[in-house]
Chain A
Amino acid sequence: MNPVLKLLLEGGSLTTAQMAQVVGLSEAEVQQHLEQLKKDKIFLGWRPVLDLSREAAAAAAVRAVIEVKVTPERGGGFNRLAERLARFDEVESCYLMSGGYDLHVLVGGSSLQKVAGFVSEKLSTLEGVLSTSTHFLLRSYKEGGFLIEQAETQVSRLNVSP
């Protein structure tokens, strides 16, 4: 496996200079690996993982999961509609699901009104959308692999031990 990709999968947040040291390559080579991963559309980009309950992160503080039922099309299945839906900036992620509904859409915005407006004006009016069911997120306990309150990090090892 690409050594840089391996490191990215560990979930740390190293700079390219740090990554270069860890994998034993030059910074330019790490950069090249990253570029290649981007070219191959494996590595899509960086995003910060934030605790959205903090005021500083309020710009995207309201989030909702929307269950969407759609009519699949002959030839295109769910893809055309899903891709169209996914292009809206408000949509953070969009998945085709098995089970009781078709698309699982995670929408974010700065206020309840904005998110609600997006659902009622944009999402549900798309041709092919049969129904939507919106669930607002109340509280986050874990984001992108990070625990929101990490009490355990306060415990520390002895500085010197046998």
Chain B
Amino acid sequence: MSADPKRWVAGHVASLPKSGIRDFFELVAKMKGQDVISLGVGEPDFVTPWHIREAAIYALEKGKTYYTSNLGMIELRRAISTYVTEHFALNYRPDDQVLVTVGVSEALDLAIRAFVSPGEKVMYHQPCYVSYSPSITLAHGEAVQVPTYAKDNFALTAEALRAAWKPGCKVLMLNLPCNPTGGTCSVEQLTKIAEFCREKDLLVLSDEIYSELTFDGTHTSIATLPGMAERTIFLHGFSKAFAMTGWRIGYACGPAVLIDAMMKVHQYTMLCASIIAQEAALEALTRGWDAVVKMRDQYHRRRDLVVRRFNEIGLKCHSPRGSFYTFPDVTPIGLTEKEFAVGLLEKEKVAVVPGTAFGENGTGHVRGCFATSYEQLIVACDRIDRFVQGVKK
């Protein structure tokens, strides 16, 4: 009899690839104690604004330690409904069209589990957030990749979508602005994508977690386009705009029948999101907007700084319209993304993440996050400059 405990791991879990992020995390962890500047993070450098933290402490003091409704506290759902109307021009009833989740990650997982039967096809654009493809696999769905390209600044196009489509595709996952590329779509592009979704009767899972961090123009949700609200699950959360990653709090909005299906999975797995995080989220929506604007202004200046420096250094880098990620092309200096990331880390102690960790179209690119102080960004850029000069010699 085999003694290897591996035999108990489910086949589809055993065959999930290890996250490329994880590999790189371990590499960086080995350099502990050295003066590493990390542009490898996926979260704000700001601490959650104090008034939000204080509201959570107050809630604890008041003894708010119970389960909430499966859907989430009604006060929070009302606040979400109002916020989404004001900021996205979308209308959802707090009673049955809003579901509070443990981060957008849970909302995405719920949606896939609620809407995808084994063998059904789910489209997503790549490079993308690392969990998209695995979460489809975990639901026994079939992942259908739609490539995005550097020449389009990694905006998804309806043409690429049409080319990748095959019979049986049921769901399309969108993440605009996109982690890791910062890619966004113009309203024209988005309109064409919406037309395609209606033509092929696709359900859209729209992860708009970076939408408040839009620096040029305004963010448009695909759900606002004609005929789309009825086929879109709008996914959002507090992690990025309100600097609340560790609270793990997000939400999903959509047609009542679909939210109810997601809620079924949620009630049997998570039950409800943490009440403390919900209380903090309520405070964020009620009084947090000024802080969001302040942080966004800083990200905006940091973006301009980093994009300018990267291009001066000789990396080809488009200016992301949203998110806090740059996704420069490092091939002009004659290195692959892995060689660049590893070399830069070892020689100059700056961490960036190889683009292939997010999908094959990330080849030749690295993700550099600018959610770090001006001083650190300037030093990081100086070091990258030195590294590139060294490679060129």
Contact = CB atoms under 8 A, between A and B. Distances in A.
Interface in B290-323: 297-298, 301-302, 304-305, 308-309
Nearest to A3: B301
Given A21-B309, A24-B304, A162-B19, A157 B25 contact: no
B368 to A, nearest CB: 12
Contacts of A7: 301
B375 interface: yes
B375 A157 contact: no
Interface string A150-162: 0010010111111
B21 A160 contact: yes
Interface stretch (A10-18, A42-50, A60-68, A110-118): A10-18
A18 B129 contact: no
Interface residues of B, number: 33
5 contacts: A158-B25, A159-B351, A160-B41, A161-B25, A162-B130
A5 interface: no
A12 B353 CA distance: 28
Interface stretch (B42-50, B56-64, B81-89, B137-145): B42-50
Contacts of B42: 161-162
B21 A161 contact: yes
Contacts of A162: 19, 21, 42, 129-131, 179
A157 B297 CA distance: 21
B46 to A, nearest CB: 11
Interface in B370-389: 373-375, 378, 381
B41 A161 contact: yes
A59 to B, nearest CB: 28
Interface of B: 19, 21, 24-25, 28-29, 36, 38, 40-43, 45, 47, 129-131, 179, 297-298, 301-302, 304-305, 308-309, 351, 353, 373-375, 378, 381
Given A12-B374, A162-B129, 20 more contacts: A10-B298, A12-B373, A14-B375, A22-B302, A23-B301, A24-B305, A155-B47, A157-B38, A158-B25, A159-B36, A159-B38, A159-B351, A160-B21, A160-B24, A161-B25, A161-B40, A161-B42, A161-B43, A162-B21, A162-B130
B374 A157 contact: no
A6 B40 CA distance: 28
B301 A159 contact: no
Contacts of B373: 12
A158 B381 CA distance: 20
B36 A157 contact: no
B45 to A, nearest CB: 7
A159 B21 contact: no
A49 to B, nearest CB: 17
B25 A159 contact: yes
Contact of B374 (A18, A155, A160, A161): A18
Interface of A: 6-7, 10, 12, 14, 18, 21-24, 152, 155, 157-162
- For A18, A23, A161, the residue with the greatest tally of chain B CB atoms inside 10 Å of its CB is A161
A157 B305 contact: no
Contacts of B25: 158-161
Contacts of A23: 301
Contact of A24 (B29, B36, B41, B308): B308
Given A14-B375, A22-B374, A162-B19, A157 B45 contact: yes
B305 A159 contact: no
A152 B47 contact: yes
B380 to A, nearest CB: 12
Nearest to A161: B42
Contacts of B302: 22
A62 B43 CA distance: 42
Nearest to A152: B47
B28 A160 contact: yes
A161 B25 CA distance: 7
A10 B41 CA distance: 23
5 pairs of A and B residues whose beta carbons are closest in the complex:
A160-B40, A160-B25, A161-B42, A159-B38, A162-B130
- For B29, B308, B373, B374, the residue with the greatest tally of chain A CB atoms inside 10 Å of its CB is B374
A14 B302 CA distance: 14
Contacts of B21: 160-162
A24 B63 CA distance: 50
Contacts of B378: 18, 21-22
Nearest to B308: A24
A21 B297 CA distance: 16
A57 B148 CA distance: 57
